[in-house]
Structure 1
């Protein structure tokens, strides 16, 4: 009987990152996309030691049609993997939007040939979304599997067990000073279908709910109420809300990357961001009119806690900046509905227009 293939475990990858032992090419696969993004971020932070040189030491290669498709992707990949680090010891090449399912044999061979060029100074990570390589009992005998496993370390990110997810959710809540009963954690994980991206968003929402209602512990009833509302309404996701309130371009791009992995509709995302920006503008206008947060909350029918958070976020932003941001969101919404341009490209342009640090000085 043939020996069973052994995937690299996330814990082993974490040890390589910590020890500085990263080398060659890695393929991230499996059902848990949240963990893939987390470990990719950790790899990025461990490699990017020279501040300001990301342009020279980080290549993000997309094979999406908007980025030029397969030919442009392979050209960019070959260039990135043949480049030398500048001002630091290593560089990183991240490969995205390349589904292994249905990949022609010639393209698979070209991919593997490129991955062979990765070494101790040029690390490559092919990050596959869960629907970009479907696994079943035949996968390990496929040509795709045999060829990729020969040139890269295959890191498998499986759905985490329910006890692990409950403990993880509890830590997220605890960091915000919120407790939760075991029953609350149990139903939270079930309602989120054991998906870490969803759990992360819902724990943020639960923390906001707890702080806004003066609660120190979340109950099962709270979870049923708050989490079910997430499914039934178009309320903005709290990760997006937090990124907007911090004026953080990195956090907002991370939010949209998660949304893209979850295949959320760009029109819906822009609508949610637009609502946040409109609320921020309303609060700023109230503050400039001399109103207190309590008065603004009463006038706008918003919770006072939410108004206070918005007030802190817009304190140093000129009202013209908020007006321009709302205008950009409206223009992006119109473009999404009237052009053939990839929706996420338009969203990236919107985020850059609003959150690029120098734009905050306008």
Structure 2
């Protein structure tokens, strides 16, 4: 009887889960607010997923500020997974591509920290073969810009800090990035207006107004904890210029949202260009994944790379799997490794 794999990608704000087949789900979970709830959250995720007897884990949640260090965060998450999974068979993905036991991972936690990008890049490289390529994965919080060469990840950085410096990690995303972190000013009725430095709105609000992301009346993980609807997004954007519904209409919201989207696009475009310039050979293919594919596509427009061949991961593996791409990739890699 073949093993049934379930992969968990545990972040600071979301947990992605996939079995490498048709099941993938994203759970909103603010790890920094209540880390002690992680054990029960893992137990719930496993119970709601298809039956599994093998877990594979990757993470970025160790950076959450409820932990005093990344090593502490990794160890806490590993302990929580062990407790929440009733100590079922578990392997942990490391940034060197190895899948190790929980005990080995616990002994060298920094090799485990923020390794999810490597799992996705290792999987995505198959769509480029031996040719140089570039993977751009756009999530709710960050973007990974990963060179691929000879069928393998070819990133120059391994840690988050190294990857930030190289442009391979861009700390901006299509949902959680505060509007005031993306732009300093926007246009308001024909004139430039500074944004207030408060987390009154995020990029999710901008993209809901622009209809790039769907409304979700059940989602309250927003700046003001009101539902992620277009009407509420408009009010959250209004507060970014200290306004409200009396002097900020839908047209004003669209203008601001476009300004914010343009600023975020320019930021990502700069990072993409930095990464490509450092590649020994320019990519012959660009692979896009994540539920923010539209941001990557916008960043490529107007560059010499706009006409390069593209693989859209959501078309290859489905939209749900693409949203949870690192977890999906990890489940597939684990199953393939077991079959070798």
Tell me if both proteins adopt one fold, taking TM over 0.5 as the criterion.
Answer: no
**Greater percentage in strand:** 2
TM-score, length of structure 1 as denominator length: 0.26
**Greater percentage in helix:** 1
Structure having the higher Rg:
1
TM-score, length of structure 2 as denominator length: 0.27
